[in-house]
A and B are shown apart, each in its own frame.
Chain A
Amino acid sequence: MARRGYDGVVLAAPVTVPYQRYSTESTAWWIGRALAGLAATSGIAHRDFDGFMLASFSSAPDSAIGLTQHFGLSPRMVDFLPMGGAGGVMSLRRAARAVQAGDCDVVACVAADTNGPQSFRYGLENFSRFSQDAVYPYGAGGPNVSFALIAQAYMAATGATREDFGRIAVAQRQNGLRNPHALMRKPLSLEDYLGSRPIAPPIHLFDCVMPCAGAEAFLVMREETARAQGLPFARLAASIERHNAFPEDRVMLRGGWARDVDDLWAMAGMRPADMDLVQTYDDYPFISMMQFEDLGFCAKGEAAAFLRDRDLTVTGDLPHNTNGGQLSAGQAGCAGGHIGLVEALRQVTGAAGPTQVEGARRALVSGFGMINFDRGLGSGAVVLEGA
C-alpha cells in the first residue's frame, strides 16, 4: 500500500556538540550539552520539549526515562534507541508520526556517546549476544573483521577495487577539512589511502572511523511552530526503515534499502537525480557504495563505475557527506547515526557555513547499523526538503 506522507511535520534546530577524541565526561554530560544546544538554537525552553528520543550506547545505567528527571524534562513520550547507525532515521520517523498525530508538539531527538581509552573494547565485548557468542571470540575484535568479510565478498561480486573505496574517503577528507569540528585535520591523498596500514584486508586504516565522544541533536515539530519561532526548517518528504531485511542472503551484498527503495521515492515524489546532496552512513566507504546502489542512484554492483565519474566534494556534481562524514569528523557512537541527518538539515536550510553546498534544497540521508553477527541489521533513509 502507498505510504502516508508527513504533511506539516518539519525538522529544525540542528545541533552538534563538538567532538573530542576522548572525554572524561559521562554520556549524560554530552546529552545535557545537546539539550542546551537545542534550547539555545530554537529559543524553546527545554522544559517545553514534550517528546524525548535518546540514541546512546553508553548512557547506562540510565535509559531515556531516568534522564528526564536528570534534565528537568516532562515529556509526554520518551523513547530509547541504542541502535547505532540507523538510529537517526528511526528517531526521526517516530518523532514525526507523534507530532503528526498530535501526541507531541516539540520532540527533542538526541544522540550522544562519550568515549574513553577503554570504551571501544568495552563496547565490543558487550555489544550483543550473537557478537559475544559468535564474533568476538574469533579475534574479530569488533566491526573491522566482520566488515572485511563483507567487503571481500562485495569486491569479488562487483569488481570494485580499493581505489574505488579510496576516492570516497579522499573526497570526504576534502569536505572534512572545511569542517572546523572534524577530528581528522590532515589532507588525505589516494596514495595515503592505498598505502595505509592493513587492519583486516581489504579494510585498511583509512576505511575505519575514529571512535570519539560527541553529540548530535535536532527538533521535530509542526511547520507552524517553526514559523512562529522564526526557525529555518526542513520538511520530511519521505522515509523508509527496515531491519534484518534479507536473512536468506548468504553474505550481505545489499542492505534493507533495496527492499523499500520504491516506497521512498514514490513517497517523496522525487528521483535520485533530484538530490542536491547525499549523506550516506560511511562506516567503511564500501558501505556507502552499497547505499548508492540500493537507493537507486545506479544499478546493483555498479557503484564503482557510477562514482568514478563523479565529484563527491562540496563543490562537485554529487556532494556527499559534506562535513567529512564519520570518516573525517569521527564516530561518536550513536551520534554517528545522526551526523548525516543534522548536516543535511543545515544544508537544506542554508546554515551549513563552510561546508554549504550552493543552493542545496533536497537531501537524501541514509542510515545503517548494528553489525550483530555477520551483517548490518538496521537500514533506513529519509529525504529532506528545505522550505
Chain B
Amino acid sequence: MQDPIRKNPLKKTRTALLPPAARSRKAHLLIPPAGRGEFALPRCAACGAFAWPVPEACPVCLSPDLPLTAAPRGGEVISATTAEVPADLYFRERAPWRVGLVAMDCGPQALVHLHPEAGQGDRVRLSLVLDRAGQAVLHAAPEGERDMASDPQWQEMAADPRRRRVLITDARHVAALPLAQALLAAGARQVWLGLDEAWKPFAGADAIRALEGAELVPLDLRSDRSVGDLARDLGGKVEILVNTADLLRPGMAFAPSVPAQTREMMEVAAFGLMRLMREFAPAMASRGADGTAPAAAWVNVTPVIARVPHPRFTGYGTAHAAALALAPALRQTLGTGGVRLMTAFTGPTDTDWFDAFPHPKLTGRAIATEIVAALKAGREELVIGDLARDWLKRHAENPRALEAELARGQY
C-alpha cells in the first residue's frame, strides 16, 4: 500500500461499510475472548468434543452445556479460494478476498479469513479476532512468525498505528511520552499530545518537543470550549485517539475533601470523556473507510480501580467507573464506522500518587508497549500489569474477600 497523500477534496469520502454483523445470540459469546486475543471455542462439558459453528447442543452427545474453552490454535488448510465477486458490499469493495476451509486440530472444520501466503495443505495458526463489525471471526496464517502487516485482511481487522495520526489527550500522563515514542516507532504519521494549562510546569515538555512527528496541542478536558476548539482543528484528522485523561486524589469516602475532589476527578475522567465523545467520536466514525489509513481505534486508558472498587480510592474509582459506564455508548457510536473501542486497564503506576503501593508498579513504557501491540492485534480489551491482572482475577472469584483484603492493605 502507498503512503496516504493529501486527500483530493473533490472526491467523496468512502462510506464506512461494515461486514455482516448479524449473529445468533450464542455466537455473541465469542466477542469477549476475541477482544482479549484469546482462542476459545465451544467445547462440550459432557463429552469433550469441540463444536463449530457455535451450536445450541453438542452434535456428538446433545448436551446443552458448551462453555468456551481454550483450544489448540493449529489447523490444516483443506481448501482455499479467493472471492473475486462477493455479494456483500463491504467485501465487494475489498475484493479479492481470501477464504479458506480449515480442519482445526481441535476437531471441527471452519471457514476462515486466510492469510495470502497460506494455501491448500499448509499448516496454519488460527486466531479469533474482531472484524470491523465488532464480531468475532476466525483468521488463519501460516505457522511461524508472520508479517501480519502484509495481510490486507488482517489489517482491516487490526488498528495498526502505521501511517495513522494519533491524538493522546493528556500529555502529563506517565505513559504519554512513551506512547508517542512507541506509536511513532510503529510508523504513526503524526502524534498530537493535549496539554492543559500550559503555564503550569510540565517536566516532559522538552522531550515531547524534541520528538520528531510529535506536537503539543492545547487541550483542557474540563472545558467544553477547549475540546471543541481542538476538534475543529483535528477532528477530521485523528485516526487513533488514546485517552490518557486522569486525575488522582486518594481518599476514603468520609474525608471532608472527598466530594470536592471527586467532582474534580469526575470533571476530567468522566465529563472529559463525554466531551471527547461528543466532539471526536462521530467524526472518527464517519471516517472509518477514509483513504488507505482510515480512522481505526479509540483507546481509553482506564485504571483497573474502575472495575475493582478500592476502599482507599473511593472518589477516584467512582470517577473512572462513571467513565467506564460510557463505554457502551461510545462503542456503538464508533462502531457505526467500524472504529474499535479498546479499554486498556492499568494497575498502579510508578508515580507519586501511588507511592504507598508496593511494587510491581507500571512504567509508562510498559503501558505504551502493550497498547501498541494490542492495536496491531486488533484487540478491544487488555489488562496491563501483574497487579491489575491479579486484582481482576481475585475480584471475579470472590469480590467480598478482595474488598476486605484491599481495606487491610493486602495488595
Contact = CB atoms under 8 A, between A and B. Distances in A.
Interface of A: 120-121, 124-125, 129-130, 132-142, 144-146, 148-150, 152-153, 156, 197-203, 247, 250-251, 373-374
B86 A141 contact: yes
Contacts of A120: 87
Ranked nearest first, the 5 interchain pairs of A and B with the lowest CB-CB distance are A141-B86, A141-B87, A139-B91, A134-B53, A148-B81
A159 to B, nearest CB: 14
A130 B23 CA distance: 9
Contacts of B373: none
B99 A250 contact: no
B84 interface: yes
A137 B137 contact: yes
A191 B103 CA distance: 35
Contacts of B13: none
Interface stretch (B104-112, B166-174, B225-233, B324-332): B104-112
Contacts of B20: 125, 132, 136-137
A133 B87 CA distance: 16
Nearest to B111: A138
Nearest to A373: B53
B87 A200 contact: no
A59 B100 CA distance: 34
A377 to B, nearest CB: 13
6 contacts: A138-B111, A139-B99, A146-B111, A149-B80, A247-B59, A373-B53
Given A130-B53, A145-B81, A251-B78, A135 B111 contact: yes
Given A124-B87, A130-B53, A149-B80, A140 B23 contact: no
A138 B138 CA distance: 9
B52 A134 contact: yes
A130 B55 CA distance: 8
B266 interface: no
A137 B131 contact: yes
A132 B22 contact: yes
Contact of A201 (B82, B100, B133, B137): B82
B135 interface: yes
Interface string B75-92: 000111111111110011
B23 A197 contact: no
A130 B137 CA distance: 13
Interface residues of B, number: 40
Contacts of A373: 53, 111
B101 interface: yes
Residue of A125, A139, A203 ringed by the most chain B CB atoms within 10 A: A139
A199 B96 CA distance: 10
Contacts, number: 121
Interface string B118-147: 001000000000010101010000000000
A344 B243 CA distance: 69
Contacts of B27: 133-134
B360 interface: no
Contacts of B80: 149, 152
A284 to B, nearest CB: 13
B91 A133 contact: no
B24 interface: yes
A144 B101 CA distance: 13
A134 B137 CA distance: 8
Contacts of B91: 139, 141
B24 A199 contact: no
Contacts of A153: 78-79, 101, 120
B113 interface: yes
Given A133-B53, A201-B81, A251-B79, A140 B24 contact: no
Looking at B27, B81, B85, B133, the one whose CB has the most chain A CB atoms below 10 A away is B81
B84 to A, nearest CB: 5
A39 to B, nearest CB: 38
A373 B59 CA distance: 14
A120 B131 CA distance: 24
B298 interface: no
Contacts of A197: 84-85
A203 B101 CA distance: 15
Nearest to A244: B59
Contacts of A135: 111
B54 interface: yes
A133 B81 contact: no
Contacts of B97: 139
Contacts of B84: 197-201
Given A145-B86, A149-B111, 13 more contacts: A121-B88, A133-B54, A134-B53, A138-B137, A139-B91, A139-B99, A141-B91, A149-B79, A149-B101, A198-B84, A203-B81, A247-B59, A251-B101
A142 B99 CA distance: 12
Contacts of A134: 27, 52-53, 110-111
Given A134-B52, A149-B100, A140 B120 contact: no
